[in-house]
Each structure stands twice: as structure tokens, then as C-alpha cells.
Structure 1
Amino acid sequence: MTVPPADALRWMRQGQRIFDATAARLDATACAAPSLLPDWTRGHVLAHVAANADALLNLARWASTGTETPMYASPEERAAGIAQGGLLPAARLADWQARSAGVLDTTLAGLTDEQWRHEVRTAQGRTVPATEIPWLRAREVMVHAVDLDLGTAFTDLPADFLAALDAEVSARRGPDLPPVTGPLADRVAWLTGRPHRRDRLSRPDGTPAPDLGPWL
């Protein structure tokens, strides 16, 4: 699936504002509370989003310099960074997240048209043009704002972003994905394996939508 670069950049910045506004509700107690993701506190989600900006910054620098710079040194390093980062005080997590997001945005804004076309490699091993970096970030900040479980829901996310995410996740889930209809926000919550209103989704035969594992 190809997302128009201008839309992706707009969603990245809009999603960052949504994530920042949601994370601003955190204090030390709330940071240690469970998120919507299994085994992750809200602090782990904040650490993951901050580390994701740092990792995507590596790709932006790769596109800028032509020097290969992987997102993460290894999957183990990525997991350890999230586990350790989730234990940081709320104020330090907030500072890390804001700083990393700001540097990523500034670096992307400085890429030339030619650098935007340079190919980089995602953590999943996909080779993509640098124009995909904003979409990767938009997904992270939008969906994880919901995962913080602090009042932001899929219904608060832009409808055009949800439509693009619906198309991507449906394609990634593959041909075995059952046909399910319902409101877009509920469908995207279901597709990404997040809590959703079961009574709003249904299959053609009227049976409830089956549970799906977490995506992203």
C-alpha cells in the first residue's frame, strides 16, 4: 500500500499532537498503571514511542547521508530499551519523547527531494523509500495514543488516517481475514487487535467478529 507522502507527513504531525496531549495527562502513578497492551505499563508505551522516534531518525539520517543506519542494532536491544525505559520517571519519559519527536520532525523537514527518494530498510526488513518514514511514525503515535488508555479513542483519530490504516492492516492480515463490517473506528480497533465494541461489528452471517492478535 502506498500512502501519499503529504498525507503521511500531515498525519505524523497531527498524531504527534494527539499523542502529546494524551501523554500530558500522565503522572508518576498513571505512568506505572497498565496500558491497553499486554504486559506493558503506560511508561512502556511512552518509552516505545520515544525510542521509535530515535529509530526512525536513524532512517532519516540514512536517507540524508547515504550511510546505512539501521533502526535498531538488534531486536534484543530494542526490547531491552523499552523494558528499561518504561521504568524511568514520568518526567524523564516525557522529555525523551518530546525531544526525540522534535529532532525527527526537524530532520525530515530538511530532506531534499532526492533524499526523500533514497531507500532505507525498516525493522521488519522491508526496503522502502524515505517517503514512508512519516507514515511509519503516524501509525505509532496515533495508535499508541489510544494504547495509553487515558481517554483518547480511535474515534478521536482522523477519518482519512483510519481509512488508510484499515487498508494497510487488512492487506497485511492477508486473505484469511474474515469479512467484517461496522463503523470505521471500531473496525480499525478490531483489525489492530485493540478493545472494541463487539456489538458494532458483524460478519455477513451476523456472527460476531473473531478476536485478532495485536498488530503494531
Structure 2
Amino acid sequence: MTNSTPTSPRTFEDARRWALIGAELISDAVAGLDDTGYAAPTALPGWTRAHVAAHVAANAEALSNLVHWAATGEPTPMYASPEERAAGIERGRALPAAELTAWLRRSADALEARMDRLTDEQWRHDVVTAQGRTVPATELPWMRSREVCVHAVDLATGVSFAELPAGFLAALCDDVAAKRAAAPGPAVTLKASAGGAWELPGDGEPVEVTGELHAITAYLTGRDAGLRAADGSPAPALAAWL
């Protein structure tokens, strides 16, 4: 895979800032939602806004477990099991609207406060993600920024990928393209109209797709961006990102 971006590679400070931006977008998106509002469908098949909000709140608590791991050296998995993770989302999405909103905001604030207390040395400690990857704790803000920024769009309250920082979009394209390059799929060359290109090696002749950076990000993450190939046909369908 070749990969170039319109901005510099992401930094730790970038990820901390994007995580705060995404959390604020989500908080604003759910402000005022009642039970009916939370029951509305989202961009994720089969999930209501309540499902997405519960998932994001549970993610903050799970990442807080990894912050505890980094701070103390005590192995603390994100989730006890995949079943426990799914059950937590189900419990959360059934909460009354006010309680779900409060949990979403409380968990986000607690995660940020715990990250603020980590020392430089603790940030360098290794932790293990829910996917079994061993990463330094400095990756946690990036993991959080992906969750809150992408799911702020998924809530379908009016937030779009176009409203997210360009640096975040380019970094996310890097991340997703690298993951997709290691899995089966169609060969696609993606070019952002303002600069930046990503190649997905795969089956068949490469299909060239050009579009705005926010549309390419939406496409790579499996969201419908309406992108078309150079010949006018729809961009090749991609498998699920996560």
C-alpha cells in the first residue's frame, strides 16, 4: 500500500484535542433528546441513537480501565468479555433519556480527568486493547477520538464528516486504509481533491475514486458517501471496517 496525506502525521496532542472535539460534538448532539429521540434510527444498521450513545459511554469506561492499567501496572482489560460488552450496551440503551445522557457525559469527563493525571512515564506503559493489540498508552487518545468523532456522525442528528478536523480525517484514512490493505477486498485508488491519496491493494484492476476528503473518509469507514469511480459507476463496495 502507498499512502500520502494532505497533513502531517498525527501527534499525541492532536489526538487529545480531537477526542475533546468529538466528545463535545456528541454531547451537543444528544442535548435535549428524549426517549423518542433516542429511539430514532442511526447510520448503523439495527442501532438506535440510544445504542450508539450507550456504546460511546461504555467505551469511555473501558478506556478508563486501560488508563488504570497504565497508571498502576495492574492488568485491567477493557471488557471482561465480548458478551459483557454487548450486555452493557443493551443495559445502557434501555436507560431513560436523562440517565443515558448523564452517563455519556459523566464517563467522558471521568476518562479525560484520568488521562490528565497520567505522568509522561505512565503514558509510555503498554496496555492491551479489546482486539488483543499491545500498544503504548499514548494510543488511547487516538482510540477515543475515533470513537467519538465517527459516532457523532453516526447519531444522525446533523453532524457530518465535513465538520470534523481535516487532520483527523486524514489520520483516520491512514488508519483505515492500512487495516483494509491487510484484508481481502477490491483494488481501489482513492484521491482527495485537496491532496492526499490512499491505495487499497486487492482483487482486479484498481478503480480510481476521487472526492472530498470527508467523503473519502466516510467511504473508507463504511458510511455511504455517494462516491463514484472515474467511469461514473458507484465506488466498489467495501467490507465492514470494524
Q: Please classify the TM superposition score into its range, dividing by the shorter chain length.
A: over 0.9
Partner of 1:42: 49
Deviation at 1:17, TM superposition (A): 1.0
Partner of 2:163: 156
How much identity, in percent, do the aligned residues show? 57
Distance 1:25 1:187, change over 3 A: farther
Structure ranking higher in strand proportion: 2
Partner of 2:192: none
CA distance in 2, matches of 1:206, 1:166: 23
CA distance in 1, matches of 2:229, 2:11: 31
Structure 2 residue 103 is the aligned partner of structure 1 residue 96: yes
CA distance in 1, matches of 2:239, 2:100: 27
Moved over 6 A (4+): none
Kindly provide the CA deviation profile for residues 128-147 of structure 1, in whole angstroms up to 9, marking residues without a partner as x: 00000000000000000111
Structure ranking higher in helix proportion: 1
Deviation at 1:87, TM superposition (A): 1.1
TM-score (norm 1): 0.94
Kindly provide the CA deviation profile for residues 5-58 of structure 1, in whole angstroms up to 9, marking residues without a partner as x: 111101111111111111114221110111111111100000000000000000
Q: Secondary structure at the match of 2:135?
A: strand
Report if the CA contact (8 A) 2:55-2:89 is conserved: yes
CA distance in 1, matches of 2:143, 2:104: 16
Partner of 2:229: 203
Partner of 1:169: 176
Structure 2 residue 207 is the aligned partner of structure 1 residue 178: no
Partner of 1:187: 216
Alignment counterpart, residue 21 of structure 1, candidates 15, 25, 28: 28
Deviation at 1:206, TM superposition (A): 4.5
Q: Secondary structure at the match of 2:188?
A: coil
Deviates more, 1:60-69 or 1:28-37: 28-37
- Matched to 1:5, the amino acid is F
Deviation at 1:215, TM superposition (A): 2.6
For structure 2, which runs of at least 5 residues remain unmatched after alignment? 4-8, 190-208
Structure 2 residue 170 is the aligned partner of structure 1 residue 144: no
TM-score (norm 2): 0.84
Which structure has the bigger radius of gyration? 2
CA distance in 2, matches of 1:73, 1:215: 23
CA RMSD of aligned residues (A): 1.6
Partner of 2:202: none
